[in-house]
């Protein structure tokens, strides 16, 4: 992955932040990996001051952790944190699905169907995990824009980075993608029929199934502390 930053009109710090975020979310930088400032400055073609500002910003997003006497490392999501994230995501996405069925315009419903079509195309002709995550993020962006609940939208947006990391875990499981497509197809069908109650139920079930896969792959801590 070429991390070097071209000089453009947007702020350099923003460009660096976006590029580093993408590297973390795509798996270029793996959880627990130490980030060496000198190496990053050379790869990005920037000063250490700009880099540190960006790392501080990503730290606020929960993607980077600054460990005393070690420096910045890519954050690792613990079993308990993942469990908590899925619980919150399940409640919020159920509300988003219900709200979308009730309030989305016909154009937004059509856009959601089109986003599902892009996911189905990836399933039919497997592409990179990055392409898959981009397509799924597009699906949820449309869902949040049409749910008519700005609080749900803003809270899920705040969670999105860590949710994307967990999606990499759940979607990496064998046969998970076809099941995901089936579950999302049922959600879209419920939305198209404007069945808000069913859309809410199906959204909650979809997150619960994704959580079960991800939590299994993450592995429960010894002694079952996360029960």
Q: Which of 115, 126, 140, 112 is nearest to 210 (CA)?
A: 140
Q: Does residue 5 belong to any structural domain of this protein?
A: no
Residue finishing a domain among 31, 50, 74: 74
Q: Does residue 2 belong to any structural domain of this protein?
A: no
Q: Please indicate, yes or no, whether residues 22 and 53 belong to a single structural domain of this protein.
A: yes
Q: Does residue 7 belong to any structural domain of this protein?
A: no
Q: Across the 227 residues of the chain, what is the mean pLDDT of every consecutive 10-residue run?
A: 59 90 87 92 92 92 89 90 93 97 98 94 70 86 95 88 79 78 97 98 96 83 46
Q: Does residue 45 belong to any structural domain of this protein?
A: yes
pLDDT of 221: 62
CB 166 within 8 A of CB 86: yes
The whole domain housing 174 covers 79-218
Phi, psi of 222 (to 5 degrees): -60, 135
Q: Which helix (H) or strand (E) holds 51?
A: helix 48-60
Segment 178-183 long-range contacts (CB within 8 Å, at least 24 positions apart) = 178/123, 179/209, 180/119, 180/136, 180/206, 180/210, 181/116, 181/119, 181/120, 181/123, 183/209
pLDDT of 94: 97
DSSP secondary-structure letter at 186?
H
Output the DSSP codes for 59-103. HHTTSEEEETTTEEEE----HHHHHHHHHHHHHHHHHHHHHHHHH
Q: In angstroms, rounded to a whole number, what is the distance separating the alpha carbons of residues 28 and 21?
A: 10
Where residue 166 sits, what CATH number does that domain have? Answer: 1.20.120.530
Where residue 32 sits, what CATH number does that domain have? Answer: 1.10.10.10
Q: Please indicate, yes or no, whether residues 202 and 141 belong to a single structural domain of this protein.
A: yes
3-state DSSP call for residue 34?
A: strand
pLDDT of 34: 94
List the beta strands (DSSP E) in the chain: 64-67, 71-74
Phi, psi of 156 (to 5 degrees): -70, -35
Q: Please indicate, yes or no, whether residues 129 and 34 belong to a single structural domain of this protein.
A: no
Give the count of domains, the chain: 2
Q: Please indicate, yes or no, whether residues 176 and 146 belong to a single structural domain of this protein.
A: yes
Question: Two tokens at 222?
Answer: 């010894």
Q: Does residue 1 belong to any structural domain of this protein?
A: no
């Amino acid at each position: 992955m070429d991390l070097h930053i071209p000089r453009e009109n947007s702020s350099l710090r923003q460009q660096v932040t976006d590029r580093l975020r993408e590297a973390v979310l795509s798996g270029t930088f793996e959880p627990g990996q130490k980030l060496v400032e000198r190496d990053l400055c050379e790869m990005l073609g920037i000063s250490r001051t700009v880099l540190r500002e960006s790392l501080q910003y990503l730290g606020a997003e929960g993607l980077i952790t600054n460990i005393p006497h070690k420096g910045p490392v890519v954050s690792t999501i613990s079993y308990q944190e993942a469990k908590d994230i899925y619980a919150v995501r399940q409640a919020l996405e159920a509300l988003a699905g219900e709200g979308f069925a009730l309030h989305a315009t016909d154009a937004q419903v059509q856009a959601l169907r089109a986003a599902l079509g892009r996911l189905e195309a990836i399933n039919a002709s497997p592409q990179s995990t990055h392409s898959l995550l981009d397509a799924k993020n597009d699906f949820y962006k449309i869902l949040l824009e049409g749910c008519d609940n700005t609080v749900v939208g803003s809270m899920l947006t705040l969670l999105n980075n860590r949710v994307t990391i967990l999606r990499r875990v759940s979607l990496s499981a064998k046969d998970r993608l076809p099941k995901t497509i089936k579950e999302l197809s049922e959600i879209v069908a419920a939305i198209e029929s404007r069945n808000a109650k069913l859309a809410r139920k199906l959204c909650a079930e979809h997150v619960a199934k994704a959580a079960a896969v991800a939590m299994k792959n993450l592995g429960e801590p010894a002694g079952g502390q996360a029960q």
